[in-house]
Chains A and B, each alone.
Chain A
Amino acid sequence: MGFIQDVLTSFVAIMPVTLAQSLILAFVVLGIMIPFRMLNFPDLTSEGAFPLGGCVCGVLLAAGVSPLTCIVVAFAAGFAAGCCTAFIHLRFRIHTLLAGILMMTMLYSINLRIMGKSNLSVFGSPTVFDWVPFARPGFPASKIVVAGLLALIVFAALYMFFRTEKGTAVRAVGANPDMAEAQGINVWAATIGGVGLASAFSASSGALMVQSQGFADVNMGLGILINGLAALMIGEAVVGKQTVWRQLLAPFAGAIIYYQLVSFCLAAGMPPPDLKLATGLFVLAMLALPSLKRGRGSAPAREAIRE
Chain B
Amino acid sequence: MLDIRSARKVFYKGQADEKVALDGLSLSLATGDFGIVIGSNGAGKSSMLNAISGALVLDSGKILINGADVTAMPVHKRATRLARVFQDPMRGTAASMTVAENMLLADLRSRKRTLRQGLNAARLASYKERLSILGLGLENRLDTRVDLLSGGQRQSLSLIMAVGGSPALLLLDEHTAALDPRTAEIVMQATVRAVNALKLTTLMVTHNMQHAVDYGSRVIMLDAGRVLLEVTGEEKARVTVIDLIGHFSIKTDRMLLAS
User: With an 8 A cutoff between CB atoms, is B118 at the interface?
Assistant: yes
**Count of residues in B whose CB is under 8 Å from the partner chain:** 30
Question: Is B96 touching A182 in the complex (CB atoms < 8 A)?
Answer: no
Mark each residue of chain B from 119 to 149: 1 if its CB lies under 8 Å from any CB of chain A, else 0. Answer: 1000000000000000000000000000000
Q: Nearest Cβ distance between residue A301 and chain B, in whole angstroms?
A: 13
Choose one: B77, B79, B91, B105; the contact of A168 (CB below 8 Å).
B105
User: With an 8 A cutoff between CB atoms, is A176 at the interface?
Assistant: yes
Which chain B residues lie closer than 8 Å to A178 at the CB level?
A: 91
Closest residue of chain B to A166 (Cβ to Cβ) is B113
Choose one: A164, A172, A186, A187; the contact of B94 (CB below 8 Å).
A172
User: With an 8 A cutoff between CB atoms, is A307 at the interface?
Assistant: no
Question: Is B118 touching A180 in the complex (CB atoms < 8 A)?
Answer: no
Q: Is the interface of A mostly helix, strand, loop or mixed?
A: helix
Q: Nearest Cβ distance between residue B56 and chain A, in whole angstroms?
A: 13
Question: Is B104 touching A182 in the complex (CB atoms < 8 A)?
Answer: no
Which chain A residues lie closer than 8 Å to B91 at the CB level?
A: 176, 178-179
Which chain B residues lie closer than 8 Å to A172 at the CB level?
A: 94, 97, 101, 105
CA–CA, A174 and B97, complex, Å: 10
Choose one: B92, B110, B114; the contact of A165 (CB below 8 Å).
B114
Which chain B residues lie closer than 8 Å to A176 at the CB level?
A: 90-91, 93-95
CA–CA, A183 and B167, complex, Å: 11
Question: Is A163 touching B94 in the complex (CB atoms < 8 A)?
Answer: no
Would A169 and B105 be within 8 Å (CB), given that A175-B94, A176-B93, A179-B94 are in contact?
A: yes
CA–CA, A164 and B105, complex, Å: 11
Q: Nearest Cβ distance between residue A305 and chain B, in whole angstroms?
A: 13
Question: Is B109 touching A166 in the complex (CB atoms < 8 A)?
Answer: no
Closest residue of chain A to B78 (Cβ to Cβ) is A184
User: With an 8 A cutoff between CB atoms, is A171 at the interface?
Assistant: yes
Question: Is A167 touching B105 in the complex (CB atoms < 8 A)?
Answer: no
User: With an 8 A cutoff between CB atoms, is B75 at the interface?
Assistant: yes
Would A183 and B105 be within 8 Å (CB), given that A163-B118, A172-B97, A175-B94 are in contact?
A: yes
User: With an 8 A cutoff between CB atoms, is B242 at the interface?
Assistant: no
Size bin of chain A's contact surface: 20 to 34
Question: Is B113 touching A165 in the complex (CB atoms < 8 A)?
Answer: yes
Choose one: A163, A169, A183, A185; the contact of B119 (CB below 8 Å).
A163
Question: Is A184 touching B93 in the complex (CB atoms < 8 A)?
Answer: no
User: With an 8 A cutoff between CB atoms, is A6 at the interface?
Assistant: no
Q: Nearest Cβ distance between residue B221 and chain A, in whole angstroms?
A: 26
Which chain B residues lie closer than 8 Å to A171 at the CB level?
A: 94, 97, 101
User: With an 8 A cutoff between CB atoms, is B198 at the interface?
Assistant: no
Which chain B residues lie closer than 8 Å to A179 at the CB level?
A: 91-94, 105
Which chain B residues lie closer than 8 Å to A180 at the CB level?
A: 94, 105
Would A169 and B113 be within 8 Å (CB), given that A182-B75, A183-B106, A184-B79 are in contact?
A: yes
Mark each residue of chain A from 175 to 212: 1 if its CB lies under 8 Å from any CB of chain B, else 0. Answer: 11011111111110000000000000000000000000
Question: Is B97 touching A175 in the complex (CB atoms < 8 A)?
Answer: yes
Question: Is B109 touching A165 in the complex (CB atoms < 8 A)?
Answer: no
Which chain A residues lie closer than 8 Å to B101 at the CB level?
A: 168, 171-172
Question: Is A184 touching B119 in the complex (CB atoms < 8 A)?
Answer: no
User: With an 8 A cutoff between CB atoms, is B255 at the interface?
Assistant: no
Which chain A residues lie closer than 8 Å to B113 at the CB level?
A: 164-166, 169, 185
Would A184 and B80 be within 8 Å (CB), given that A175-B94, A179-B93 are in contact?
A: yes
Query: Which 4 pairs across A and B sit closest by C-beta, in order of nearness?
Result: A184-B79, A175-B94, A165-B113, A168-B118
15 residue pairs from A and B, CB less than 8 Å apart: A161-B115, A163-B119, A165-B114, A167-B118, A168-B104, A169-B113, A171-B94, A175-B95, A176-B94, A176-B95, A179-B93, A184-B76, A184-B108, A184-B109, A185-B76
Which A residues contact B (CB, under 8 angstroms)?
161, 163-169, 171-172, 174-176, 178-187
